[in-house]
Amino acid sequence: MEAKTASGARSCEGLGYFVRTFGCQMNLHDAERVSGLLESEGAVPVGSAEEADIVVFMTCCVREKADTHLYGQASAMASAPEPPSGLRTVCVGGCIAQRDGERLRQQVPVVDVVFGTQAIARLPHLICEARTGEAGLAVDTEERYDGFSTDLPSHRASKAQAWVPIMYGCNNFCSYCVVPYVRGRERSRAFEDVVDEVRRLVADGAREVTLLGQNVNSYGRDLYGEPRFAELLRAVGDTGIERIRFTSSHPKDLSDDTIRAMAETPAVMPQLHLAVQSGSTDVLRRMNRKYTRDDYLALVGRIKEAMPDIMLTTDLIVGFPLETEQDFEDTLSLVREAGFSGAFTFIYSKREGTPAAAVDDPTPRDVIQGRFDRLAKLIEEQSWQANQRFEGERVEVLVEGPSKKDPRRMTGHSRESVTVHFPAPEGVEPADLVGTLVDVHVEQARTWYLAGSMVGEPR
């Protein structure tokens, strides 16, 4: 795996690196692999992009805002102070890199390395090429399926938590989405490889894993002829891991067997993110989501029957081309009927190359913004209401670390994935609580978090 220089030294020996990540959990996982790979080549982490010899941007192109963030932050490197080595190498990976390739140099002239979603393993070689070559731009966006990024070294951000990709790519081709074009078609990892990885993580101290895929519910279809996600949940639950989460979950493929596996596997947390995108059947059809409003609500009913205490969150797009006021009202009513405790809400962002991008929409921007604001207000109200059930109760929290503003104020997530804050008890070092499970008596239930006091001993 090491990329040797002509002298035989590791290609990044002594260079400081910094990774900034935009977008989904898959990008967070890929960023951990990038960090592990660079460290295996002798690079050392530093605290900011300005002091790094190697700066890596892991990008997402699902929404336009991600492009804007990349262009702004990468361009800022042109005026940053000179790094210790005297030469800064700016690298762009992930979905924008896969989509734009060498065209990125036109938007961001400071970029030196562009590596696509299947080229992470090539990054040290590309950095070496960019730092020693005359062209100053090294690009690899080739589509290759000769392994998974999970085979690479990793620098995990948390010892207690881990991302575990189970598949890559997507076959759904929703009319607004670029993921199938930049991540490719569905490719599942071998069942035994996933379970063995979780076993190794448990042995290494992991207490929670999040199974990742663009559509985890179709896991295994390409390898085994039919989905095996329900079976995988049960097998991962038998490894000794204490908490299991998963994302993303497409409603059309969430089977009754998977619902039973969720209910019957104690380690599966009582929380599900189930993207609906719209409450209008007409809009869902134009989105190519392959389910109706009634299908989705019936699915929610089956989930809640099996797991009455589950907390549901979702994704919602406002202003999809030709959305009418009635379409939007259908979305509001679905949000109420499904009882979501939270949602990621977005104004539709046109993505080049997708079918929806070719549709002209005369709806005024201020009308779309007004709808977005109404939806956000409803989600806020429902989130506050959902959290009230915890006030006065005791919740189990996996402690993730201290607050940036107060080193003794600890933060973690409940089993339902609600953020929980509590002060470290007197006489307890905050660092000793990180990665432990604690009980917190909830004294305040706010819209986006719970606050309380630790009860008993950490475990």
Q: Provide, rounded to the nearest whole percent, the portion of the chain with pLDDT above 90.
A: 75
In tens, the pLDDT along 161-194 reads 999 999 999 999 999 998 888 888 999 999 999 9
What local confidence, expressed as pLDDT, does residue 147 receive?
A: 59
User: Where would I find the H helices in 23-84?
Assistant: 25-40, 64-75
Query: Nearest Cα to 78, choosing from 115, 108, 48, 56?
Result: 108
The Cβ of residue 295 has, within 10 Å, a number of other Cβ atoms equal to 15
Instruction: Walk me through the domains of the chain, giving residue ranges and CATH numbers.
Output: 16-140 (3.40.50.12160), 165-386 (3.80.30.20), 391-455 (2.40.50.140)
Q: Which amino acid appears at position 303 of this protein?
A: I
Q: Please enumerate, by residue number, every residue annotated as part of a binding site for [4Fe-4S] cluster.
A: 24, 60, 95, 170, 174, 177
Q: What pLDDT score was predicted for residue 6? A: 42
Residue ranges of the binding site: 24, 60, 95, 170, 174, 177
Which whole number is the average pLDDT over 404-426?
Answer: 96
Q: Other C-beta atoms within 10 Å of 32: how many?
A: 23
| Tens-place pLDDT, residues 197-215 | 999 999 999 999 999 999 9
Range of weakest confidence among 78-82, 289-293, 417-421: 78-82
DSSP state of 174: -
Query: What pLDDT does residue 433 have?
Result: 97
Whole-number average pLDDT of the chain:
92
- How far apart are the C-alpha atoms of 222 and 115, rounded to whole Å? 26
Q: Which SS3 state, helix, strand or coil, does residue 421 take? A: strand
User: Hey, which residues does 304 pair with through a beta bridge?
Assistant: none
Residue 413 sits at the vertex; the CA angle it makes with 62 and 154, to the nearest 5 degrees, is 60
